[in-house]
Amino acid sequence: MPSYSVPLRDMKFVYNELFDPTDISALPGFEDATEDLINPILEEAARLAENELFPLNTTGDLEGCQFDNGHVTTPQGFIDAYKQYAEGGWVGLPCDPKYGGQGIPAAVNVLMEEMACSANVSFATYVGLTRGAYRAVNTFANDDLKNQFLPKMVSGEWSGTMCLTEPQCGTDLGLIKTKAALQSDGTYTLSGTKIFITAGEHDLTQNIIHLVLGRLPDAPKGIKGISLFLVPKFLPDTEGNPSTRNPIFCARIENKMGIKASATCEMNLDGATGWLVGEPHKGMRAMFTMMNDARLGVGIQGLGIGESAYQAAATYARDRQQGRALTGAKTPDAPADSLLVHPDIRRTLLTMRAFTEGARALAVWIGRNIDIRDHSNDAEAKKQADDIVQLLTPIVKSYLSEAGHDNAQMAIQIYGGHGYIRENGVEQYARDARIAMIYEGANGIQALDLVGRKMPAHMGRYLRRFFHPIQDWIGAHTADPDLQPFVLPLAKAFGRLQMATGQIAKAGLKDPNEAAAASSEYLKLFALVALAFLWARMAQTAMRQKDSSEPEFYEAKIKTAQFFMERVLPQTGALFSSIMAGGSTLMNFSDDAF
């Protein structure tokens, strides 16, 4: 069976060495967020993930959630694990202390989320949805709603969901039919059906706070007529305790391919009472706040599962004896050498490792920009940070979820036939990872968002936030001989990205299908350049530690960076060729021939 050990040393490298942690501790409210505080938090979180969450991963998958007459029970051990998680303050880790949160930086919370997803991604969905709901309520709701609901969501006593999808609409939310009607007391009644609602019903918390998209009687058509409502499972009494059962019920749970311990529900609203969050007909703005948080979280799911898959594969490759090295037996006294002697096994493992370490750096980079966006007193710094978050969110969601699934598939391949057998554990990673490419906006939608919205936004301002630092770094280090193996490949791939950007912008003006046809390849090209930039910086950081007490750690970092530059980054050449080929072979193919 696989095991999981939190990669604490690498997490600390990214947080404390690759990036300057004083950038965060200098922000208002984060003065205490120094190494002396952050490192113990990460270490305690690691113990929780390894000892409490990971042991429930396989059993949760085998048992799954159970549905009985509207009630959902989670697998054995989940209630106790959640209680321990909530009582430890982990649900409210990044939340405002005003509502009982810990006020810890988002960059730290990114690492905590990775641990939870690596250990038990089904469990992580319950917590992740609550944090997303918290952010939407905290940003858009009035003070009465915040004071009534946020403290118990932050404490973990109550959980949260996002109720978007309906049977007739997934991505196209303009087709939503759920009806809302204003009542004389200022509340609203809601009626309709929502499907694929993660954590819509369960037994982990006293109450569940649903954020529901609905349509008022006078609503304009399409997404401009959607409003957001807070609809609790139980209506609170005058003292704020769960009281009257609200008519929002679970009709069924889905029998899914993966994340079986996460309840995916069909929810029926039959005149359920709710409160308006924000302004009428402005619900999409609030929901996208929550959805963008969820999209980053989904990317981290890919990273988390990818890390667990890598660890399982590396352990198996070290221990499994199969065949002999092509250059002669490495362990002549044993019946065979370990899998590690075979070049293709090493290529596979290094590909997995290069992804997880690069993706972790990318996730923390976004977390740092979220911290600056939300806490800096400098208006320009806040705008620049938000630009980076807006630009990179679809990239993180799409590329990390896809590469994480690839890692799971590669782990199965390294295990061989044993990887296809359920009791060995790695096939679960592939099943659990698959949904991340679909929910919170399928990856094709993320690519369209990148080329259709983010690329042209503010006359290319988002792109400049990303392009200029890379150009500056390349220019500053081109003459450094030690960095040549990293600067030159990065510069070549970056040049391809710049040319592809120009081609898509030009072609898209004449025909939107041209931009859309290139969007998926463009997103992958963009992601690889982002990882190359971070890998070059990680190599530079590691080179500065040549005389440290951990030479093996830093040497492995440099060699992984070299592998990424030589064996992964060249994929940008093929992606560039596909982009420049245009979309005619897609769009000129007859519909009738499909």
Residues that are catalytic: 440
* Residue (of 121, 410, 124, 70) closest to 247 by Cα position: 70
From CA 29, how far away is CA 35, in angstroms rounded?
Answer: 15
Residues 6 or more apart in contact with residue 329 via CB below 8 angstroms: 337
From CA 212, how far away is CA 120, in angstroms rounded?
Answer: 27
Sign of the C-alpha dihedral computed for residues 388, 394, 397 and 402 taken in this order:
negative
Residue ranges of alpha helices (H) inside 396-511 are 401-415, 426-434, 443-449, 461-477, 484-510
Match 């320009």 to its residue by tokens: 380
Helical (H) or strand (E) element with 197: strand 188-198
From CA 540, how far away is CA 97, in angstroms rounded?
Answer: 37
Match 């929780």 to its residue by tokens: 48
Largest Cα–Cα distance in the chain?
Answer: 84
Match 């710049």 to its residue by tokens: 498
* Residue (of 172, 170, 270, 164) closest to 221 by Cα position: 172
From CA 15, how far away is CA 30, in angstroms rounded?
Answer: 15
Asked if 161 and 131 touch (Cβ cutoff 8 Å), the reply is no
The amino acid occupying position 102 is: Q
The radius of gyration computed from the CA coordinates of the chain, to the nearest angstrom, equals 24
Q: How many whole angstroms from its chain centre is CA 494? A: 25
